[in-house]
């Protein structure tokens, strides 16, 4: 039995899945038994905060920092989602801050990333109802963070073998300033394009632009292709599940629950994006919206974010990257 438990403590994907399950269980149980969407509003920040435990440097005060910032900024972020003109420059400023925190401070990388993800995604879900709809979810952020701390540091503290230390990034091709400028221009332009097209879930366009802009142009191109591929596979799978299992609602609900638990667990990026994309389709259906519309919106906005980001990555790539490309073409 001891040997079995030791093996269960090794795979990092399993550790992440267990933490996700424990973190979201109270909120999703609340929603499932009562139909109260405040349960989802509790589960989502708990999920986002639990992901940061994957960085070995995370400490309880980091969770407290995230919770306070998230609770304070959520109403304003919700207001911005409905006002494109101020939203675009604020998104650009937030992107610069994210890059600087990640590359210039000792704060674990996932802290700034998942704080930004939470604000973008939660604000997008709440924006149709106005700033008033964000007040209760903002209040729920604090107890969600407390529960996440209990889960991560007490109930399931094992990170797995890969969680022993945070992986170091390879030497960047872009300096911090160029990287921040590129990401900010990509995020702001993606937001503007999505707003002009009246796209739903503008947050998917913004985050896609931010996340595929890596410090290396090569890495950016690879990640953009993997993100598009994952979205296409996941949305297709989600739609197929709706068509094939529409008469078996309990099975669709069960699959959706499993995908929630696994959505941040995979170590392979294409698989992770595919799971989250399928979940976007199925979760929208479970919440009473159109799953088909959610899938199409996700593909559209990820396409916008990736396309815009690649324009700026190529335009701002260092001269050394261009020289390498030219030399490769000549030979």
Decide which of 230 and 324 is more confident. Answer: 230
Domain boundaries of the chain, sorted by first residue: 1-163, 175-324
Q: Please report which confidence band the pLDDT of residue 11 belongs to, taking 50, 70 and 90 as the band edges.
A: confident
pLDDT > 70? residue 324: no
What pLDDT, in 10s, does the model give residues 211-239?
Answer: 999 988 889 999 999 999 999 999 999 99
Secondary structure tally for the chain: helices H, strands E: 14, 0
Whether pTM exceeds 0.85:
yes
Would the CA dihedral through 26, 32, 33, 37 be positive or negative?
A: positive
Residue pair 179/98 in contact (Cβ under 8 Å)? The answer is no
From the list 125, 130, 95, the residue with the least C-alpha distance to 113 is 95
Decide which of 163 and 256 is more confident. Answer: 256
Two structure tokens written together for 323: 């020289």
Q: Which residues contact 220 (CB under 8 A, 6 or more apart)?
A: 212, 213, 214, 309, 310, 313
pLDDT > 80? residue 161: no
């Amino acid at each position: 039995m001891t040997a079995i438990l030791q093996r269960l403590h090794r795979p990092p994907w399993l550790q992440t899945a267990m933490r996700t399950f424990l973190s979201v269980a109270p909120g999703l149980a609340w929603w499932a038994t009562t139909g109260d969407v405040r349960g989802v509003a509790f589960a989502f920040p708990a999920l986002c905060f639990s992901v940061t435990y994957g960085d070995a440097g995370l400490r309880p005060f980091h969770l407290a920092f995230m919770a306070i910032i998230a609770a304070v900024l959520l109403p304003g972020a919700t207001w911005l989602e409905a006002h494109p003109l101020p939203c675009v420059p604020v998104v650009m400023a937030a992107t610069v801050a994210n890059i600087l925190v990640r590359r210039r401070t000792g704060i674990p990388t996932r802290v700034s990333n998942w704080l930004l993800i939470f604000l973008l995604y939660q604000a997008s879900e709440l924006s149709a109802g106005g700033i008033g709809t964000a007040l209760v979810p903002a209040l729920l952020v604090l107890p969600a963070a407390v529960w996440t701390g209990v889960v991560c540091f007490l109930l399931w503290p094992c990170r797995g073998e890969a969680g022993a230390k945070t992986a170091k990034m390879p030497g960047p091709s872009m300096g911090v300033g160029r990287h921040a400028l590129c990401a900010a221009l990509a995020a702001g332009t993606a937001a503007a394009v999505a707003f002009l097209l009246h796209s739903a879930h503008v947050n998917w366009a913004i985050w896609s632009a931010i996340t595929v802009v890596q410090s290396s142009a090569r890495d950016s191109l690879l990640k953009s292709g993997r993100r598009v591929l994952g979205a296409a596979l996941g949305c297709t799978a989600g739609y197929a599940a709706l068509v094939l299992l529409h008469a078996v609602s309990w099975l669709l609900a069960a699959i959706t629950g499993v995908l929630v638990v696994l959505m941040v667990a995979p170590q392979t990026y294409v698989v992770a994006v595919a799971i989250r994309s399928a979940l976007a389709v199925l979760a929208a259906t479970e919440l009473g919206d159109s799953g088909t519309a959610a899938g199409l919106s996700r593909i559209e906005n990820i396409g916008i974010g990736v396309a815009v980001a690649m324009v700026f990555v190529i335009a701002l790539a260092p001269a050394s990257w261009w020289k390498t490309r030219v030399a490769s073409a000549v030979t």
